[in-house]
């Protein structure tokens, strides 16, 4: 078999030192493609290419950057059905979700095409006579971008697009589970008019490729999205050599349902937030905190809706929940279901491995009633496993919502303006949703969390400039 997915280094396609295989989690008999895997030396050659290209790309005009990014965005949008099919096949989210993600990636490139034309600065009068002060934003240099598998086009897009828009050069390492999506994006970038070395794709493991990027003295900044454990090790290594670092990590997001909420809508938000994209979203609602007065009614409605969800092949029409991304992830989901039962959480439905006409990592969405101390109510599972937690009243619900090491997103369903306003102010999270699912965000505004969920400046929107630029203050004698 020819290697389908290669590295893109210094403007050329390269095969790897070893090979890996990308599988379809909906159908393990379907090989998406063989992919190249780099070692440290090949990764270092990509880093050197990015370092050699940095001055040329930093000197490129805003108009040129606009044209490159706008072309990438247009192609993603024009090919969203085809690329969405690849995404659904490789990652396992449903085809409509995957097409939506591809379109989102296109919109993100378009947004940052515009931002390239609007790089902000300031000119002020000095406190001294005869002096002008200017504040400008310059590229950081070579940025290493390390991405997870769960949004294999959108997350790379929201890192690569601002990196290039603000004049940085890129070494991109996607997760090994989704090399096909990364290759497809790189293939579009390879035809968009960038100088050789401005964008490099290196496929391979976190331990080899990721670590080499993190430890390289030529990499000025690292943007990482993934698990807390890996994020913390990257933070330690990057900080030790004074590289700039941005981390987006896990979540254990609460959705609070108050007694005055429109219950039908609240159930839909909970179902959407907990189970869609197979629960494999950092913004998934995994703790559904329900006020006592409506708890039993809500739990029964949620159990019935959960049981009715259609689990199947990601590319099949009518599928609502695709498979887990990998055997490892399925095993983690099943292990948490067992932990929930062992710890005495009340099982309501689901949590069983399923058989379908094609062999894949299928799991029925699981619902528990848990106590706040249960591990399934505290640890990120990253699968279609949710728990309901009973709250005495609003104050108790807010306290439960904030009782977590994470702080990515928090939601509330209520008809009370006073309670919604209070919740927005007091939820310890980077993002708050009122009468909406916790998952589902806009691309033109900041994305990120607090506590163990994030570190460093926000991603997305014009706030991305904080991470991808460095500020210079210049004084000029004016008279
Ligand atoms: P992960 O295991 O932490 O991996 C993330 C990326 O880091 C992958 O590309 C991985 O490579 C790489 N990596 C692993 N070890 C590394 C090391 N020692 N040095 C450098 N890079 C290394 O996360 P995942 O399993 O892909 O994704 C699931 C996690 O991502 C969840 O915890 C989820 O909450 C989080 N997530 C967060 C957000 C957010 O914005 N907050 C969004 C999506 C996902 P390989 O896997 O290829 O070896
Ligand atoms: Mg992982």
Q: What percent of the chain has pLDDT over 90?
A: 98
- How far is 438 from 352, CA to CA, in rounded Å? 25
Angle at 455 between CA 41 and CA 474, to 5 degrees: 85
CB atoms within 10 A of CB 6: 21
Which of 192, 241, 183 minimizes the C-alpha distance to 214? 241
- Do residues 205 and 240 both lie within one domain? yes
pLDDT digits (tens, 9 = 90+) for 68-110: 999 999 999 999 999 999 999 999 999 999 999 999 999 999 9
pLDDT digits (tens, 9 = 90+) for 325-370: 999 999 999 999 999 999 999 999 999 999 999 999 999 999 999 9
pLDDT of residue 3: 81
- Do residues 227 and 342 both lie within one domain? no
Indicate if the alpha-carbon torsion angle 104, 98, 75, 65 is positive or negative. positive
- Do residues 379 and 412 both lie within one domain? yes
Indicate if the alpha-carbon torsion angle 293, 295, 300, 304 is positive or negative. positive
Bridge partners, 285 (sequence order) = 253
Q: Whose CA is nearest to atom 11 of ligand 1?
A: 206
Residues designated as active site: 248, 282
- Do residues 374 and 463 both lie within one domain? no
Mean of all residue pLDDT scores within the chain: 97
- Do residues 131 and 33 both lie within one domain? yes
Residue ranges lining ligand 1, Cβ < 6 Å: 146-150, 173, 175-176, 205-207, 210-211, 214, 225-227, 230, 233-234, 248-251, 282, 380, 382, 408, 453
> What CATH number corresponds to the domain at position 359?
3.40.309.10
- Do residues 237 and 371 both lie within one domain? no
Question: What are the b/e assignments for 152-177, b being 16+ CB within 10 Å?
Answer: bbbbbbbbbbbbbbbbbbbbbbbbbb
Q: Answer whether residue 404 is part of any domain.
A: yes
Overall average pLDDT of the 361-386 stretch: 98
- Do residues 244 and 258 both lie within one domain? no
- Do residues 375 and 404 both lie within one domain? yes
DSSP assignment letter at 225:
E
Q: Answer whether residue 108 is part of any domain.
A: yes
Q: Answer whether residue 441 is part of any domain.
A: no
Q: Answer whether residue 442 is part of any domain.
A: no
Going by pLDDT thresholds of 50, 70 and 90, the confidence category of residue 1 is: low
Q: Answer whether residue 228 is part of any domain.
A: yes
pLDDT of residue 478: 86
Task: Give the mutation target among 39, 205, 230 for probing the ligand 1 site: most ligand atoms within 8 A of CB.
Answer: 230
Indicate if the alpha-carbon torsion angle 125, 128, 131, 135 is positive or negative. negative
**Ligand nearest 230 Cα, by number?**
1
**Ligand nearest 253 Cα, by number?**
1
**pLDDT at residue 302 greater than cutoff 90:** yes
DSSP assignment letter at 27:
E
Under DSSP, is residue 425 helix (H, G, I), strand (E, B) or coil?
Answer: helix
Question: Could you tell me where the beta strands, DSSP code E, fall in 98-187?
Answer: 122-125, 131-139, 142-146, 169-173
Q: Answer whether residue 33 is part of any domain.
A: yes
Q: Answer whether residue 356 is part of any domain.
A: yes
Q: Answer whether residue 445 is part of any domain.
A: no
60 C-alpha vs ligand 2 centroid, how far in Å? Answer: 36
227 C-alpha vs ligand 2 centroid, how far in Å? Answer: 7
Number of structural domains the chain divides into: 2
387: containing domain: 254-434
CB atoms within 10 A of CB 436: 17
Task: Give the mutation target among 226, 230, 249 for probing the ligand 1 site: most ligand atoms within 8 A of CB.
Answer: 226
Q: What percent of the chain has pLDDT over 70?
A: 100
- Do residues 214 and 320 both lie within one domain? no
- Do residues 245 and 319 both lie within one domain? no
Kindly report the pTM of this predicted structure. 0.98
350 C-alpha vs ligand 2 centroid, how far in Å? Answer: 24
- Do residues 217 and 173 both lie within one domain? yes
- How far is 83 from 77, CA to CA, in rounded Å? 9
> What CATH number corresponds to the domain at position 12?
3.40.605.10
pLDDT of residue 165: 98
- Do residues 296 and 416 both lie within one domain? yes
């Amino acid at each position: 078999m020819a290697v389908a997915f290669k590295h893109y280094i210094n403007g050329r396609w390269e095969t790897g030192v070893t090979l890996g295989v990308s599988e379809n989690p909906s159908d393990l008999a379907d090989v998406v493609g063989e992919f190249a895997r780099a070692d440290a030396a090949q990764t270092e050659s990509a880093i050197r290419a990015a370092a050699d290209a940095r001055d040329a790309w930093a000197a490129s005009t805003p108009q040129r950057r606009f044209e490159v990014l706008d072309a990438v965005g247009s192609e993603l949008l024009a090919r969203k059905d085809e690329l969405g099919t690849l995404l659904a096949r490789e990652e396992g989210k449903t085809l409509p979700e995957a097409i939506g993600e591809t379109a989102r990636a296109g919109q993100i490139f378009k947004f940052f095409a515009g931002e390239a034309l609007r790089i902000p600065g300031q000119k002020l009068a000095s406190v001294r006579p005869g002096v002008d002060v200017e504040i400008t934003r310059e590229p950081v240099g070579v940025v290493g971008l390390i991405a997870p598998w769960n949004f294999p086009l959108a997350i790379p897009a929201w890192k690569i697009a601002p990196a290039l828009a603000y004049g940085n050069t890129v070494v991109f390492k996607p997760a090994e589970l989704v090399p096909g999506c990364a290759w497809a994006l790189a293939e579009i970038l390879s035809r968009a008019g960038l100088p050789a070395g401005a964008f490099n794709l290196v496929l391979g493991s976190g331990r080899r490729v990721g670590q080499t990027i993190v430890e390289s003295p030529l990499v000025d900044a690292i943007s990482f999205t993934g698990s807390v454990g890996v994020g913390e090790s990257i933070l330690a290594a990057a900080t030790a050599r004074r590289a700039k670092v941005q981390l987006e990590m896990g979540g254990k997001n609460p959705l609070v349902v108050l007694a005055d909420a429109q219950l039908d809508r609240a159930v839909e938000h909970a179902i959407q937030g907990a189970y869609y994209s197979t629960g494999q979203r950092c913004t998934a609602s995994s703790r559904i905190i329900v006020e006592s007065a409506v708890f039993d009614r809500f739990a029964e409605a949620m159990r019935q809706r959960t049981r009715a969800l259609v689990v199947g092949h990601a590319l099949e029409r009518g599928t609502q929940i695709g498979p887990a991304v990998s055997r490892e992830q399925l095993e983690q989901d099943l292990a948490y279901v067992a932990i929930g039962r062992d710890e005495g959480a009340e099982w309501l439905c689901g949590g069983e491995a399923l058989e379908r006409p094609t062999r894949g990592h299928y799991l029925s969405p699981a619902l528990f009633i848990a106590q706040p101390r249960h591990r399934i109510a505290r640890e990120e599972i990253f699968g279609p496993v949710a728990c309901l937690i009973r709250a005495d009243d609003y104050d108790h619900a807010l306290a439960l919502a904030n009782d977590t090491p994470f702080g990515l997103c928090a939601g509330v369903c209520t008809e009370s303006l006073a309670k919604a306003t209070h919740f927005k102010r007091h939820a310890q999270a980077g993002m708050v949703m009122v009468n909406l699912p916790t998952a589902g965000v806009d691309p033109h505004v900041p994305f990120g969390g607090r506590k163990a969920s994030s570190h460093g400046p926000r991603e997305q929107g014009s706030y991305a400039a904080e991470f991808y630029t460095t500020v210079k203050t210049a004084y000029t004698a004016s008279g």
